[in-house]
Amino acid sequence: MDVRDLARSARTVRRFRASQEIPPETLLGIVDAARLAPCGANLQMLRFVMLEKPSDRDALFPLLRWAAYLKNWPGPPESERPSAYIVILAPVEEKPFTRMDVGIAAGYMMLAAREQGLGCCMILSFDRQKAAEVLSPPDGLSPILVLALGYPAEDVVLETLAPGQSVEYWRDPEGRHHVPKRSLEDLIL
Protein backbone atom coordinates (compact mmCIF):
# COMPACT_ATOMS: atom_id res chain seq x y z
CA MET A 1 0.00 0.00 0.00
CA ASP A 2 1.42 3.42 -0.85
CA VAL A 3 1.67 6.03 1.91
CA ARG A 4 -1.29 8.11 0.65
CA ASP A 5 -3.56 5.06 0.64
CA LEU A 6 -2.31 4.19 4.12
CA ALA A 7 -3.00 7.76 5.31
CA ARG A 8 -6.47 7.68 3.72
CA SER A 9 -7.31 4.46 5.57
CA ALA A 10 -5.78 5.51 8.93
CA ARG A 11 -8.92 7.17 10.27
CA THR A 12 -9.66 7.70 13.93
CA VAL A 13 -11.56 4.70 15.29
CA ARG A 14 -13.49 4.89 18.56
CA ARG A 15 -15.16 1.46 18.59
CA PHE A 16 -13.08 -1.72 18.61
CA ARG A 17 -13.52 -5.49 18.85
CA ALA A 18 -12.48 -5.69 22.52
CA SER A 19 -12.25 -9.48 22.54
CA GLN A 20 -9.55 -9.51 19.86
CA GLU A 21 -6.16 -9.05 21.54
CA ILE A 22 -3.20 -7.41 19.82
CA PRO A 23 -0.02 -9.53 19.75
CA PRO A 24 2.76 -7.99 21.90
CA GLU A 25 5.17 -8.01 18.95
CA THR A 26 2.68 -5.90 16.97
CA LEU A 27 2.59 -3.29 19.75
CA LEU A 28 6.39 -3.29 19.90
CA GLY A 29 6.51 -2.73 16.14
CA ILE A 30 4.17 0.25 16.49
CA VAL A 31 6.39 1.80 19.18
CA ASP A 32 9.42 1.05 17.00
CA ALA A 33 7.86 3.18 14.24
CA ALA A 34 7.80 6.09 16.73
CA ARG A 35 11.42 5.39 17.65
CA LEU A 36 12.36 5.84 14.00
CA ALA A 37 10.43 9.12 13.63
CA PRO A 38 12.32 12.39 13.35
CA CYS A 39 12.49 14.57 16.45
CA GLY A 40 13.80 17.99 17.45
CA ALA A 41 17.60 18.11 17.86
CA ASN A 42 17.50 14.28 17.74
CA LEU A 43 17.03 14.35 21.53
CA GLN A 44 14.68 11.33 21.54
CA MET A 45 12.99 12.56 24.74
CA LEU A 46 9.76 10.60 24.44
CA ARG A 47 9.05 7.36 26.27
CA PHE A 48 6.19 4.92 25.81
CA VAL A 49 4.05 2.79 28.11
CA MET A 50 2.10 -0.11 26.60
CA LEU A 51 -1.03 -1.14 28.49
CA GLU A 52 -2.14 -4.60 27.39
CA LYS A 53 -3.51 -6.23 30.54
CA PRO A 54 -7.26 -5.81 31.11
CA SER A 55 -6.73 -4.41 34.61
CA ASP A 56 -4.37 -1.71 33.27
CA ARG A 57 -6.76 -0.85 30.44
CA ASP A 58 -9.68 -0.69 32.85
CA ALA A 59 -7.77 1.70 35.12
CA LEU A 60 -7.05 4.11 32.24
CA PHE A 61 -10.39 3.99 30.41
CA PRO A 62 -12.47 6.20 32.77
CA LEU A 63 -9.82 8.94 32.58
CA LEU A 64 -10.28 9.38 28.81
CA ARG A 65 -12.66 11.69 26.93
CA TRP A 66 -13.69 10.12 23.66
CA ALA A 67 -15.49 12.36 21.15
CA ALA A 68 -16.25 16.03 21.71
CA TYR A 69 -18.61 16.31 18.73
CA LEU A 70 -20.66 13.26 19.78
CA LYS A 71 -22.32 15.14 22.65
CA ASN A 72 -24.24 12.32 24.34
CA TRP A 73 -21.75 9.51 23.75
CA PRO A 74 -19.76 8.52 26.85
CA GLY A 75 -17.29 6.40 24.91
CA PRO A 76 -17.31 2.81 23.74
CA PRO A 77 -19.19 0.16 25.73
CA GLU A 78 -17.10 -2.60 27.30
CA SER A 79 -17.47 -4.87 24.25
CA GLU A 80 -16.07 -2.12 21.99
CA ARG A 81 -13.19 -0.83 24.08
CA PRO A 82 -9.56 -0.80 22.93
CA SER A 83 -7.45 -3.94 23.22
CA ALA A 84 -4.40 -1.88 24.18
CA TYR A 85 -3.18 1.63 24.85
CA ILE A 86 0.18 3.21 24.16
CA VAL A 87 0.78 6.27 26.30
CA ILE A 88 3.38 8.79 25.16
CA LEU A 89 5.38 10.32 28.00
CA ALA A 90 7.36 13.53 27.61
CA PRO A 91 9.61 15.54 29.91
CA VAL A 92 7.73 17.74 32.36
CA GLU A 93 10.05 20.58 31.38
CA GLU A 94 9.18 20.82 27.71
CA LYS A 95 11.41 22.06 24.93
CA PRO A 96 9.84 24.33 22.28
CA PHE A 97 9.46 21.32 19.96
CA THR A 98 8.20 18.70 22.47
CA ARG A 99 4.56 18.80 21.37
CA MET A 100 5.63 18.59 17.74
CA ASP A 101 7.72 15.52 18.53
CA VAL A 102 4.70 13.94 20.23
CA GLY A 103 2.54 14.60 17.16
CA ILE A 104 5.10 13.19 14.75
CA ALA A 105 5.60 10.05 16.87
CA ALA A 106 1.84 9.57 17.23
CA GLY A 107 1.35 9.95 13.48
CA TYR A 108 4.01 7.35 12.74
CA MET A 109 2.41 4.97 15.25
CA MET A 110 -1.06 5.49 13.78
CA LEU A 111 0.21 4.62 10.30
CA ALA A 112 2.09 1.58 11.64
CA ALA A 113 -1.05 0.43 13.46
CA ARG A 114 -3.18 0.81 10.34
CA GLU A 115 -0.65 -1.16 8.30
CA GLN A 116 -1.25 -4.03 10.77
CA GLY A 117 -5.03 -3.80 10.31
CA LEU A 118 -5.56 -1.92 13.58
CA GLY A 119 -7.60 1.16 14.31
CA CYS A 120 -6.30 3.94 16.50
CA CYS A 121 -7.66 6.92 18.37
CA MET A 122 -5.26 9.64 19.51
CA ILE A 123 -6.57 11.03 22.79
CA LEU A 124 -5.24 14.33 24.03
CA SER A 125 -8.18 15.00 26.35
CA PHE A 126 -7.69 12.95 29.51
CA ASP A 127 -7.02 13.41 33.23
CA ARG A 128 -3.22 13.64 33.19
CA GLN A 129 -2.80 13.69 36.95
CA LYS A 130 -4.84 10.52 37.50
CA ALA A 131 -3.22 8.89 34.47
CA ALA A 132 0.19 9.56 36.04
CA GLU A 133 -1.04 7.80 39.19
CA VAL A 134 -2.06 4.77 37.09
CA LEU A 135 1.18 4.75 35.06
CA SER A 136 3.73 5.72 37.74
CA PRO A 137 6.13 7.30 35.22
CA PRO A 138 9.76 7.92 36.13
CA ASP A 139 10.52 11.30 37.69
CA GLY A 140 10.58 14.10 35.16
CA LEU A 141 8.17 12.45 32.71
CA SER A 142 4.42 12.90 32.38
CA PRO A 143 1.73 11.42 30.09
CA ILE A 144 0.98 13.72 27.19
CA LEU A 145 -1.02 11.64 24.68
CA VAL A 146 -2.86 8.32 24.71
CA LEU A 147 -3.26 6.08 21.67
CA ALA A 148 -6.17 3.68 21.96
CA LEU A 149 -5.63 0.65 19.72
CA GLY A 150 -7.67 -2.29 18.55
CA TYR A 151 -9.27 -4.02 15.62
CA PRO A 152 -11.96 -1.67 14.26
CA ALA A 153 -15.61 -2.37 15.03
CA GLU A 154 -16.88 0.58 12.99
CA ASP A 155 -16.68 1.93 9.48
CA VAL A 156 -15.26 5.41 8.99
CA VAL A 157 -16.34 7.33 5.89
CA LEU A 158 -14.45 10.34 4.57
CA GLU A 159 -16.69 13.09 3.21
CA THR A 160 -15.57 16.03 1.09
CA LEU A 161 -16.35 19.16 3.08
CA ALA A 162 -18.85 21.33 1.22
CA PRO A 163 -18.53 25.13 1.38
CA GLY A 164 -20.02 26.36 4.66
CA GLN A 165 -20.32 22.83 6.06
CA SER A 166 -19.16 22.15 9.60
CA VAL A 167 -16.00 20.15 10.21
CA GLU A 168 -17.81 18.20 12.96
CA TYR A 169 -17.85 14.43 12.50
CA TRP A 170 -21.08 12.49 12.98
CA ARG A 171 -22.62 9.02 12.97
CA ASP A 172 -25.39 8.03 10.61
CA PRO A 173 -28.38 5.84 11.68
CA GLU A 174 -26.43 2.70 10.65
CA GLY A 175 -23.58 3.64 13.01
CA ARG A 176 -21.04 4.61 10.33
CA HIS A 177 -18.73 7.39 11.46
CA HIS A 178 -18.51 10.27 8.92
CA VAL A 179 -15.53 12.63 8.86
CA PRO A 180 -15.67 15.75 6.67
CA LYS A 181 -12.32 16.70 5.13
CA ARG A 182 -11.45 19.81 3.14
CA SER A 183 -10.53 19.23 -0.49
CA LEU A 184 -6.89 19.49 -1.51
CA GLU A 185 -7.77 22.52 -3.66
CA ASP A 186 -9.18 24.33 -0.60
CA LEU A 187 -5.91 23.89 1.29
CA ILE A 188 -3.47 25.13 -1.34
CA LEU A 189 -2.93 28.90 -1.28
Tell me: pLDDT of 1 over 70. Answer: no
Cα-only R_g, the chain: 17
Kindly state the DSSP code that residue 64 receives in the 8-state scheme.
Answer: B
Check if CATH label 2.20.180.10 holds for domain 155-189. yes
- Summarize pLDDT for 19-64 with one digit per residue, the tens: 999 999 999 999 999 999 999 999 999 999 999 999 999 999 999 9
pLDDT in tens, 138-188: 999 999 999 999 999 999 999 999 888 999 999 999 999 999 999 999 999
Q: What is the distance between the alpha carbons of residues 125 and 2, in angstroms, rounded to a whole number?
A: 31
- Where in the chain are the domains? 3-153, 155-189
Query: Is this prediction's pTM over 0.85?
Result: yes
Does 3-153 match 155-189 in CATH topology? Answer: no
Q: Which burial class, exposed, middle or buried, applies to 102 when counting CB atoms under 10 A from its CB (0-12, 13-18, 19+)?
A: buried
Which CATH fold topology does 3-153 show? NADH Oxidase (3.40.109)
Total length of the chain: 189
